[in-house]
Chain A
Amino acid sequence: MNRIQTKLQDNKKLLSIYFSAGYPALNDTVDIIKRLENSGVDMIEIGLPFSDPLADGPTIQESSTKALKNGMHTELLFDQLQDIRKSVSIPLILMGYFNPMLQYGVEAFCQKCEAVGIDGFIIPDLPAEVYHDQYKAIFERYGLINIFLITPQTSEARIRYIDSISDGFIYMVSSASTTGAQSGFGSTQQDYFERIANMHLKNPQIVGFGISNHETFTQATTHAKGAIIGSAFIKHLTNKGTKHIDEFVDGVLGKF
């Protein structure tokens, strides 16, 4: 069983954290991952920076741009992650846009991911149908789970389709927005969370976009299995560096 699937069976709400590899400094990647695991984070999304991240808001765009300026590239990320499984055991998901993977060669990319111990992908601009028709077999050959997004505008039929081709969790985008665009959840979002919960999908849902602190984490996980934080964590890294990651995680989990 894949580490993601195992983790989803834990009897608790899961916290997943996103960061851009190569940010704030080029060689912070491994340090950030270790600190996140030691602080009690359940899953990590490692962002492979891209020049044109069109589903992301300003915070993640800026961290991507900075990471690229720092010199981050695909092969270097694999080098940094080479020994990661000697010290880190939580699921690691690679999040990135499709073009860098395509240029590396999809099969070679998957092979490398399996070798360093990546468990799955979130690829915002790889549509479910294209994945299913062209890449599913390759991803599966290397034990990689692909995670799909749904939004408040996704039709019920499409949610059912995405559920049928998913094998881990469904990334539930909290509202119609790019990343980091809003703060707090109103009744519209609560209704949406409840509506999806009542669909009794086979895959658990993890909520992303708009979670920044203990309050929003609690709201997001009332119905869902977990929540993902990206922009708020990157802001924390920008302001406080990598040394105080535990403070951020404690805050989100309500451990004061």
Chain B
Amino acid sequence: MSYHVNKKGYYGQFGGAFIPEMLYPNIEELRQKYLSIMAEPDFKTEFEQLLKEYVGRPTPLYFAKRFSEKYNTKIYFKREDLCHTGAHKVNNTIGQILMAKRLGKTRIIAETGAGQHGVATATVCALAGLECIVYMGEIDIARQAPNVARMKMLGAEVRPAMSGSRTLKDATNEAIRDWINHPEDTHYIIGSAVGPHPYPDMVARFQSVVSEEIKWQLNAAEGTENPDYVVACVGGGSNAAGAYYHFLNDERVGLIAVEAAGKGVDTGESAATSILGKEGIIHGSKTLLMQTKDGQITEPYSISAGLDYPGVGPMHAHLYTTKRAEFVPVTDDDAMTAGLTLSQLEGIIPAIETAHAFAIFENRTFKPNDIVVVCLSGRGDKDLNTYIDYFKL
């Protein structure tokens, strides 16, 4: 069985491109060209060179000795937190800005929740000398002030999304509306493995450098390319898509997807999309999403602004329904505690999104000889205020 996208843009029953006709020319152009552009030798050279010299790749695969001792198994961290701008997000924005240039686009738009993807987009726009407009929910602008300032410093315009719930899903709506209004000169850099085909596949391919590196790095360290498990947090699902990518069709490698349970899966304040969601359409993709019985999209909750998306990428919806990946909900409290544990055992302060992935070791046992790779998707600088408030530091 293949867990990759099929020719029609679907992962099993999920995916597709449920887009208004106004977006058809742009999406169709991208669909027709993305694979051939990515295969061009000069594209590959430029992409790889920027990942190496600008992003700082390869990121280390670090054997976490103290963390491994605590949980009595062999745990490696894939250090995406050491990427330029502090998270894996930049792998995708580098790829997409090169794509945009080859498509002849001069204006870039993006959505952002916590601001990480917005910063990664503003960064590559500065690098490429392209105009950058980032849509961000009015509420998120207020709670993520440092990232708003970073985007502005990088020369981007941050436009508040004032509609609906004024958070990530509405910022995404506004970016889509902007694209409808600017159909010719604009490329939309989606930040996660979501949206209409070919976005989920394109984003997964740009992020797949993560699992590509894990394979050779693990081979050097352990004499095997395949870990027993790969663990990643999932909001929309881009870091997980990248960390799983080269292991998707090898069922010897267990995939563990950690979702934000917020205050608890059954509390009504949660973002555990696969467990609480039903099949439907969000932002042009058929996937699992949180909605009312009438099909109105609801607002999820998580302490982490990067995981409170009401949908999940179609690849992950497929991994969930086929049981290829094990989905584990982790509450705010457990994630925060794991963030503190990681900081004090290994000297790494993770993003709160990332901290969710580390919380699973409290409740799930691995064998002493299991090799578990955790994608350490982002660093925690942006979350210091939340940590300070939570732990009364």
Residues on A lying within 8 angstroms of B by beta carbon are 50-58, 61, 65, 68, 73-75, 97-104, 124-128, 130, 148-151, 153-155, 158, 173, 176-178, 181
Nearest-neighbor residue (CB-CB) of B284 within chain A: A125
**15 contacts across the A-B interface (CB closer than 8 A):** A51-B297, A52-B170, A54-B20, A54-B180, A61-B164, A74-B294, A99-B280, A104-B294, A124-B20, A124-B21, A127-B17, A151-B22, A153-B183, A158-B24, A176-B184
Contacts of A178 in B (CB 8 A): 177, 180-181
Q: Are A55 and B22 in contact (CB under 8 A)?
A: yes
Nearest-neighbor residue (CB-CB) of A68 within chain B: B296
* In the complex, number of A-B residue pairs with CB atoms less than 8 Å apart: 110
Q: Mark B269-292, 1 if CB is under 8 A from A, else 0.
A: 000000000111111100000010
B199 CB → nearest A CB, Å: 14
Known interface pairs A51-B297, A73-B294, A100-B294; A148-B21 also in contact (CB < 8 Å) = yes
Q: In whole angstroms, what is the CA distance A58 to B170 when docked?
A: 12
Q: In whole angstroms, what is the CA distance A52 to B176 when docked?
A: 11
Q: Are A98 and B296 in contact (CB under 8 A)?
A: no
Q: Are B24 and A127 in contact (CB under 8 A)?
A: yes
Interface centre among B20, B169, B280, B282 (most CB of A within 10 A): B20
Q: In whole angstroms, what is the CA distance A232 to B119 when docked?
A: 38
Of the residues B16, B21, B293, B294, contact of A149 by C-beta under 8 Å: B21
Contacts of B291 in A (CB 8 A): 99, 103
Q: Are A100 and B296 in contact (CB under 8 A)?
A: yes
Q: In whole angstroms, what is the CA distance A53 to B282 when docked?
A: 10
Q: In whole angstroms, what is the CA distance A54 to B281 when docked?
A: 12
Contacts of B22 in A (CB 8 A): 55, 149, 151, 153, 173, 176-177
Nearest-neighbor residue (CB-CB) of B17 within chain A: A127
Q: Are A52 and B173 in contact (CB under 8 A)?
A: yes
Q: Are B296 and A154 in contact (CB under 8 A)?
A: no
Q: Are B295 and A125 in contact (CB under 8 A)?
A: no
Contacts of A98 in B (CB 8 A): 18, 281
B197 CB → nearest A CB, Å: 11
Q: In whole angstroms, what is the CA distance A148 to B291 when docked?
A: 26
B348 within 8 A of A: no
A135 CB → nearest B CB, Å: 12
Q: In whole angstroms, what is the CA distance A196 to B278 when docked?
A: 41
Q: Are A103 and B283 in contact (CB under 8 A)?
A: no
A68 CB → nearest B CB, Å: 6
Contacts of A54 in B (CB 8 A): 20, 173, 176-177, 180, 283
Q: Are B180 and A130 in contact (CB under 8 A)?
A: no
Contacts of B16 in A (CB 8 A): 130
Q: In whole angstroms, what is the CA distance A130 to B20 when docked?
A: 12
Q: In whole angstroms, what is the CA distance A50 to B164 when docked?
A: 10
Q: Which of B205-247 contact A (CB under 8 A)?
A: none
Q: In whole angstroms, what is the CA distance A149 to B23 when docked?
A: 11
Known interface pairs A102-B281, A153-B184, A178-B180; A58-B163 also in contact (CB < 8 Å) = yes
Of the residues B18, B278, B283, B293, contact of A130 by C-beta under 8 Å: B18
A69 CB → nearest B CB, Å: 11
Of the residues B182, B282, B293, B298, contact of A176 by C-beta under 8 Å: B182
Q: In whole angstroms, what is the CA distance A51 to B170 when docked?
A: 10
Q: Are B281 and A125 in contact (CB under 8 A)?
A: yes
Known interface pairs A58-B163, A65-B164; A154-B25 also in contact (CB < 8 Å) = yes
Of the residues A55, A99, A130, A154, contact of B295 by C-beta under 8 Å: A99
Contacts of A148 in B (CB 8 A): 21
B103 within 8 A of A: no
B50 within 8 A of A: no
Of the residues B181, B294, B295, contact of A177 by C-beta under 8 Å: B181
Q: Are A55 and B180 in contact (CB under 8 A)?
A: yes
Contacts of B130 in A (CB 8 A): none
Nearest-neighbor residue (CB-CB) of A133 within chain B: B8
Known interface pairs A68-B296, A153-B184, A181-B181; A52-B18 also in contact (CB < 8 Å) = no
Q: Are A102 and B280 in contact (CB under 8 A)?
A: yes
Q: In whole angstroms, what is the CA distance A168 to B181 when docked?
A: 27
B126 CB → nearest A CB, Å: 27
Of the residues B20, B163, B293, contact of A125 by C-beta under 8 Å: B20
A-B contacts besides A54-B173, A104-B294, A181-B181, 14 pairs, CB < 8 Å: A52-B297, A56-B177, A65-B164, A99-B295, A103-B280, A125-B281, A126-B18, A128-B21, A151-B21, A153-B25, A154-B21, A176-B181, A176-B183, A178-B177
B19 within 8 A of A: yes
Q: Which of B150-179 contact A (CB under 8 A)?
A: 163-164, 169-170, 173, 176-177
Q: Which of B1-52 contact A (CB under 8 A)?
A: 16-22, 24-25
Q: Are B281 and A99 in contact (CB under 8 A)?
A: yes
Q: In whole angstroms, what is the CA distance A133 to B21 when docked?
A: 17
Contacts of B177 in A (CB 8 A): 54-57, 178
Q: Are A125 and B164 in contact (CB under 8 A)?
A: no
Contacts of B169 in A (CB 8 A): 52
Q: Are A103 and B180 in contact (CB under 8 A)?
A: no
Contacts of A125 in B (CB 8 A): 18-20, 281, 284
Q: In whole angstroms, what is the CA distance A149 to B293 when docked?
A: 28
Contacts of A102 in B (CB 8 A): 279-281, 295
Contacts of A158 in B (CB 8 A): 24
Nearest-neighbor residue (CB-CB) of A51 within chain B: B296
Interface centre among A68, A99, A150 (most CB of B within 10 A): A99
Nearest-neighbor residue (CB-CB) of A150 within chain B: B21
Q: Are B297 and A104 in contact (CB under 8 A)?
A: no
